[in-house]
C-alpha cells in the first residue's frame, strides 16, 4: 500500500509541476518584449503670446475710448500695458496628456 501511495503522490507532484510550467509559459507569451507598460501624465504650460497681443490691442482701444479729451494717448498706452499683462495671464494654460511607456 505504501508503494501505491508513493506512486499517487509522485503523479500528483508531476501533474502540479507540469501545470505550473504550462501557466508560466502562457503568461510569458502575453507579456510585451519591451517590458511592463505604465501610464505617465505629461504637462506643459503655454506661453500666452496670442493673449498678450489681443489684450494689448483691446486694452489700448478701450483706454483711448475711456480717457479724457486731452489724454487719449496716455489712456491708450496705459490701457495697452494693462491689457497685455491681463491677456498674457489669461492665455497661459496648462496642457496635459497621457503617454504609455515601458519599464524594462
Instruction: Quote the domain boundaries for residue 76.
Output: 35-103
Clarify whether residues 97 and 56 are in a common domain.
yes
Same domain, 39 and 65: yes
Q: Are 61 and 79 in contact (CB under 8 A)?
A: yes
Is the pTM above the cut of 0.75?
no
Judgement on whether residues 49 and 99 belong to the same structural domain of the protein: yes
Are residues 3 and 22 located together in one domain of the fold? yes
DSSP the chain: -HHHHHHHHHHHHHHHHHHHHHHHHHHHHHS-TT-EEEEEEEEEE---HHHHHHHHHHHHHHHHHHS-TT-HHHHHHHHHHHHHHHHHHHH--EEEEEEEEEE-
Domain count for the chain, please give it. 2
Residues 22 and 62 in one domain: no
Left (φ > 0), alpha (ψ -120 to 50) or beta: where does 35 sit? left
Measured distance CA(54)–CA(89) in Å, rounded: 12
Q: For 6-62, how does the pLDDT look when each residue is reduced to its tens digit (9 = 90+)?
A: 777 777 676 667 666 555 655 555 555 666 788 888 888 888 888 999 999 999 999
On whether both 66 and 82 belong to a single domain, the answer is yes
Residues 9 and 52 in one domain: no
Give pLDDT tens digits for 70-101. 888 999 999 999 999 999 988 888 888 888 88
Amino acid at each position: 500500500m505504501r508503494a501505491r501511495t508513493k506512486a499517487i503522490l509522485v503523479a500528483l507532484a508531476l501533474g502540479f509541476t507540469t501545470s505550473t510550467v504550462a501557466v508560466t509559459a502562457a503568461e510569458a507569451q502575453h507579456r510585451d518584449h519591451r517590458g511592463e507598460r505604465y501610464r505617465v501624465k505629461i504637462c506643459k504650460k503655454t506661453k500666452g503670446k496670442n493673449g498678450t497681443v489681443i489684450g494689448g490691442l483691446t486694452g489700448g482701444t478701450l483706454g483711448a475710448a475711456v480717457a479724457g479729451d486731452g489724454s487719449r494717448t496716455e489712456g491708450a498706452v496705459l490701457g495697452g500695458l494693462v491689457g497685455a499683462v491681463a491677456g498674457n495671464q489669461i492665455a497661459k494654460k496648462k496642457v496635459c496628456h497621457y503617454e504609455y511607456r515601458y519599464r524594462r
